[in-house]
Structure 1
């Protein structure tokens, strides 16, 4: 389950040093023995301010909020826990060892930067299959002699001056499991019930942060996917704020605007090159901004923008983005401007087009040329093949795709998903 968490949460871009711990607003007692439950309840409920100071708890929460959106902030978050528990290491285990994967760990260690971020021995950890959502120590799982003789201790922990370990497995809403470990050297005292009570106090806060991190990263992945899809289709998207200033643009729009061939950004404002076109564009944007202020009402209008290069006009659609009670303030998305290059050359991934239509490389090359508006003779010349060869390829393409006319072939090819693949 850790593998799924690693894959979905964006920690693949993590570089040391960065990441680590947890917090909460009430003790979790399920699964503890009656004696441990009583001790934990007494420590965590009766005097929570004695477990962690208000100032340190506030520091931890500040880093935890930042860690939701910024992966590198997990390390400062863990550092607060490390200091509070007087440990040498505090670690968040993102992924354990499965198959060929190395376990990924983010560790706080008082400023040390020479830490390993992957634990190849994690599959030997005695905490790997421990009960979820509760803190345990080595002494809860095995005797001191068994711990000293274990491979995990002799081959990994001892080398890093780790003897005392307190750990928990935190389960997020999607079923992913994360490990939270804090450690001390043998010269330090063992973890106490008070330490475990603090861990239980913090755990729900970390779980919530991990859930939020997961949801945020998932949304970012989906948005990125949509952006790549529109870019592949050469649909440019420019988002304007409540003042008509450009907030952002996708790669296709950026490419179009960089041409400065009919459309451009000047002083943060989207403009058309020619005066008549620009007056029309600004009127559409102004109307869309007025509509965006009216909840539930939308406006979509279009125009064409001439290009100094003499190529086919840009097709431009301006659409309002309705606001709600949560989108007040500065720099809120208010207008979307869509731009399409109707005369651009089609360039889908050849391999994907072959797979979709069961064509040979030569047949795919011909189909792409035809989709770009060339005649059969022009396509043959562009591909440096004989006309008879091109005709033979076309007959084969007709047979494989089930079409009978060249215009129909172009239509199904342009409407296919071949354009959505990576080049």
Structure 2
């Protein structure tokens, strides 16, 4: 299947298309706006959005150029045509387009850019557009808050009438909404990225995060919390709610959760409540902190995040990425593995036995580690390792 001529992808044939109706009802315009803002929340919705706009403007192609592409990047174009929906990876001729470099946030037609004879004689039209049935073009480059520029294109074949003033008026009415939707998508996407980074950092540090709603139901757990709860060793989810194994500790836990729900503003202003949860296995107690999540006045509905419960494994052995640890402290692989075991609480003799090395070799490694890290005692070594950023990296 061939790609579409005007920075889009679509069917390789032209069709005569009737002109768009000069009047657009409020219902029709409302449906287009619904589709535009749904696409802001889910990028997969752009194909449906473009389909509605293309159909209303009686075009044969509608496209959103996400990335125009370069020598190193083939780009990304979301497009819709009369015959198929697709995401094209790019248009190899896009830099030849007469719309390249035009002023942003301004809707124009091909007639606004160059005379008809020059358009017909252009290499972009002859090599890319003509055989695909694209002749009339309505275009805008939309600059968003990040500084990125998105291309918006609607096309018709030569057999169809050019875009009318009414068509342009509709396009100009839509343009600010498309821009807002793109900005909204960027904002949501960035927020998700930041949340993902926070979750990654907490998981790497073995800090479990359990989020409860206003009815105390567990609505979300990060990977570290899931691992802790899967042990069923002092903490568990029962009936969708967080419980402690021992009744007296569970009463305290439920009271802290209740207080956080009843007094969210007070909890935010005061010291966060904490307790230790015993483990039936005999392991070190879980360190638990309960904190209210203060919602704003617009936050309503079921499963509203209301309480965060943080759980720390005081004895859990951590395993930072060996490569990052080597880079941070300039250690050899053997020195790195020894240092990690020492940071996990083993003595030098225990670590040498575990690693299968002679004690004299372990002592030589330790002297080298001390020299490279600038510490003099094993307790200092443990402290600098546990406080290093190596623990935040992806494991090797």
2:173: which partner in 1? 201
Say yes or no: does 1:273 pair with 2:241.
no
2:290: which partner in 1? 318
Q: CA deviation at 1:237?
A: 0.4
Q: Is the 8 A contact 2:79 2:85 kept in 1?
A: no
CA deviation profile, 1:206-258 (whole Å, cap 9, x unmatched): 11111111111111111111011101101000111111111211111111112
Q: In 1, distance between residues paired with 2:329 and 2:307?
A: 39
Instruction: Point out where structure 2 has 5 or more consecutive residues left out of the alignment.
Output: 1-8, 11-20
Q: CA deviation at 1:137?
A: 2.0
Q: Is the 8 A contact 1:263 1:270 kept in 2?
A: yes
Instruction: Point out where structure 1 has 5 or more consecutive residues left out of the alignment.
Output: 1-15, 18-48
Q: CA deviation at 1:118?
A: 2.3
Number of matched residues?
377
TM-score normalised per structure 2: 0.90
2:72: which partner in 1? 100
Say yes or no: does 1:123 pair with 2:89.
no
Stretch of structure 1 that moved more, 168-177 or 230-239:
168-177
Say yes or no: does 1:413 pair with 2:380.
no
Structure 2 counterpart of 1:307, from 258, 267, 279: 279
Q: In 1, distance between residues paired with 2:104 and 2:294?
A: 44
Q: In 2, distance between residues paired with 1:114 and 1:91?
A: 10
Q: Is the 8 A contact 2:77 2:87 kept in 1?
A: no
Say yes or no: does 1:218 pair with 2:187.
no
Q: CA deviation at 1:409?
A: 0.4
Q: In 1, distance between residues paired with 2:108 and 2:23?
A: 17
Change in Cα spacing, 1:301 to 1:151, as seen in structure 2 (3 Å) is same
2:260: which partner in 1? 288
Q: Is the 8 A contact 2:80 2:86 kept in 1?
A: no
Change in Cα spacing, 1:289 to 1:183, as seen in structure 2 (3 Å) is same
1:264: which partner in 2? 236
Q: In 2, distance between residues paired with 1:370 and 1:321?
A: 38
2:164: which partner in 1? 192
TM-score normalised per structure 1: 0.84
Q: Is the 8 A contact 1:92 1:107 kept in 2?
A: yes
Q: In 1, distance between residues paired with 2:370 and 2:88?
A: 58
Q: In 2, distance between residues paired with 1:272 and 1:358?
A: 44
